[in-house]
Chain A
Amino acid sequence: MENNLSLSKGKINSRKIAERVIFIFLRLVAVFVLGILGIILYFIFSEGFSVLSIGFLTEMPKEGMTEGGIFPAIVGTGYLVFFSMLFALPVGVCAGIYLQDYAKQGFLVKLIRLATNNLAGVPSIVFGLFGMAFFVHFLGFGASVLAGSLTLSLVVLPVIIRTTEEAVKTVPREIREASLALGATKWQTTYKIVLPYAFSGILTGSILSVGRVAGETAPILFTCAAYFLPRLPNSIFNEVMALPYHLYVISTSGTQIEKSRPLAYGTALVILMIVALTNLIAVILRNKFKIKQ
């Protein structure tokens, strides 16, 4: 019988070596991933930082988009984020609450969940095509902020539904029961107990989808994005410029691609910063509203 306290080295050593090798390997992989991210960030920063200025953020593009700023694209993206959230948030949050708390768990709910998950995996260009066919042509919105926002809201709807469901699921059963046992109705329990409790989770999901909306290109390609439009839209039935599409345009199909290259990096940097900022806000708000148990 082997003595557990034996200090003999043979076997223990080979295990230790394996441990070390694996450990080093895992660490290398982690560093590699971080490194790539770092390189991308460094590259965009170093190329784009020199372009950043107040003017870049507040001026119209000039000289065939080789000079001037990206103001209309920033505003356009702002509009798209605002309106797509306006549509997607209420629908997504309600759907998530319904699926988790109200619907009788069964075949239908499973089917809806499956559909939602699949929707989340649909390539965004498909949403773009659908948006063009349905919102732009069938409903006759034309290429417009409205059509673009609705299409984008479809892209993020599954995300919002899922995060809402997950957030609602974390509300302890005991607390719901306590509320119901005090004579609260189900709806009172939902909005007085469940929603405040799940709020930080829902908020996080929503803000992350803001980042998604700000960065998506394919869904707006045929539904609202203007190649060049040196004025702001004055209604939701106008086309708009938007940051991701603008980036695409000036780096691939502009009039003088080489000349507008710095602007492209600047635009990429602005998109990155917007996404980073929304994620940062998400983290801060999550901590602020998190209910400790």
Chain B
Amino acid sequence: MNKIKIEAENVNFYYGKTKALSGIDLKIYEKKVLALIGPSGCGKSTFLRCLNRMNDLIDGTRVEGKILLDGEDVYDKNVDVVKLRMRVGMVFQKSNPFPKTIFENVAYGLRVNGTKDKKILQEKVEQSLKQAAIWDEVKDRLHTSALSLSGGQQQRICIARALAISPEIILMDEPASALDPISTEKIEYLIHELKNLYTIVIVTHNMQQAARVSDFTAFFYVGELVEVDLTGTIFTNPTKKQTEDYITGKFG
């Protein structure tokens, strides 16, 4: 069995008085893809955003329990959120490039973390764009605005941007939900390539996508983790009735 990269222990999460997650226990294995599925509002995105503490930005939220990254609780008082987020990168649902050039988008994470050397920046940007399988499409216009690209290209720029700071884990929040089938296929192919180097957690509404890209699948329902197992098992032989109903399309 692979090494455990992240381990959630009895995680509860509150938006004000509303409990959004209760008692989540989940192990995330290194260099594997974990898909989080479940109907809207089930807490899968909330859980994802706990892993890099993006929920800290929302006033009135509260977390209980532990989320251990290589054995270290990310919610510990001594944790530097900036360092955490450099190790746990994120790709969002809506492609959200900065209104800057393609180059500056990818270099952003390096720049804010103090990299000034132009050569290193250039190498890293090229390497990240290649990893995100978009280098060939943009190499001649690195200094044009990232907003001039198509939605699918923008999303791959966002992936390259996340890769540039060499994270260990990449969180993806429905990264292909706003994209056409061809762009989606590219992103999925990318996930296949990236899992050799990174641990990936992906939230998706698209069950076929979960089946195609992931090694493990976790099914969330009304703030609880119903079941987690190998993707093959979840989709062919789930132990819980709720999981079966959801994946067969009986509800949700």
Residues of chain A whose beta carbon lies under 8 Å from any beta carbon of chain B = 104-105, 172, 174-185, 188, 192-193, 196-197, 291-293
Contacts and interface: CB of A to CB of B under 8 A. Distances in A.
Nearest to B56: A180
Given A174-B92, A177-B96, 18 more contacts: A176-B57, A177-B57, A177-B90, A178-B90, A178-B98, A178-B158, A179-B108, A181-B54, A181-B162, A182-B89, A182-B112, A183-B113, A184-B82, A184-B109, A185-B112, A188-B112, A192-B108, A293-B147
Nearest to A196: B99
Nearest to A189: B112
Contacts of A188: 112
Contact of B112 (A105, A177, A184): A184
Contacts of A291: 99
A18 to B, nearest CB: 44
A236 to B, nearest CB: 39
Contacts, number: 69
14 contacts: A178-B96, A178-B97, A178-B98, A178-B161, A179-B98, A179-B112, A180-B85, A181-B90, A182-B162, A183-B82, A183-B86, A183-B113, A185-B112, A291-B99
- Tell which of A174, A182, A184, A185 has the most Cβ of chain B within 10 Å: A182
B59 A105 contact: yes
Nearest to A185: B82
B250 interface: no
B52 interface: yes
A197 B100 CA distance: 10
B94 interface: yes
A207 B147 CA distance: 28
- Tell which of B52, B85, B96, B158 has the most Cβ of chain A within 10 Å: B96
B83 interface: yes
Interface string B73-116: 00000000011011001101010111100000000110011000
Contacts of A293: 99, 147
B77 to A, nearest CB: 18
Interface residues of B, number: 25
Given A192-B112, A197-B99, A293-B147, A180 B57 contact: yes
Nearest to A197: B99
B228 interface: no
A181 B52 contact: yes
A179 B107 CA distance: 12
A175 B95 CA distance: 9
A176 B85 CA distance: 14
B165 interface: yes
A146 B158 CA distance: 50
B98 A175 contact: yes
Contacts of A185: 82, 112
A73 to B, nearest CB: 42
